[in-house]
Amino acid sequence: DHVNAGRLTLQRFVDLFSHGPQRIFGMARKGRIAAGYEADFTIVDMKRRQTITNAQAGSKAGWTPYDGREVVGWPVGTVIRGRRVMWEGEIATPSQGRAVEFSEALPR
């Protein structure tokens, strides 16, 4: 929503939500789409209007403080470690989570 409203550039958004956490926490093989990195990314339809609802909440709480808010720009697909895990709101493959590795903990 902030990108479409002109409050944030797409490049800055990617930096804040992808590169930034990787830099701050030192996560290994995260934060970029490049050789040697895990292919984790979300595909967003930047023109799609959608209203956020509690029914979409994926947390144990089952609600979101954004219930009823209309946004422009909506995630349509998510890829984790090169596998499509969500497309158009449907889970494509079962969860295969694993612990995040940190650069300082890797063998040198």
Task: Decide: 20 and 98 in contact? Cβ < 8 Å.
Answer: no
108 pLDDT band, cuts 50/70/90, is low
Asked whether residue 5 is assigned to any structural domain, the reply reads no
CATH classification of the domain holding 72? 2.30.40.10
Asked whether residue 70 is assigned to any structural domain, the reply reads yes
> Is the overall model pTM greater than 0.85, yes or no?
no
Residues 6+ apart with CB under 8 A from 102: 25, 26, 27, 28
Residues 6+ apart with CB under 8 A from 5: 72
Question: Using the 8-state DSSP alphabet, how is residue 31 labeled?
Answer: S
pLDDT value of position 106: 67
Asked whether residue 98 is assigned to any structural domain, the reply reads yes
Asked whether residue 23 is assigned to any structural domain, the reply reads yes
Task: Decide: 37 and 101 in contact? Cβ < 8 Å.
Answer: no
pLDDT value of position 1: 84
The domain total for the chain is: 1
Asked whether residue 4 is assigned to any structural domain, the reply reads no
Q: Tell me the average pLDDT of the chain.
A: 89
Q: Which domain holds residue 18?
A: 10-105
Partner residues linked to 43 by β-bridges: 77
Asked whether residue 2 is assigned to any structural domain, the reply reads no
77 pLDDT band, cuts 50/70/90, is very high
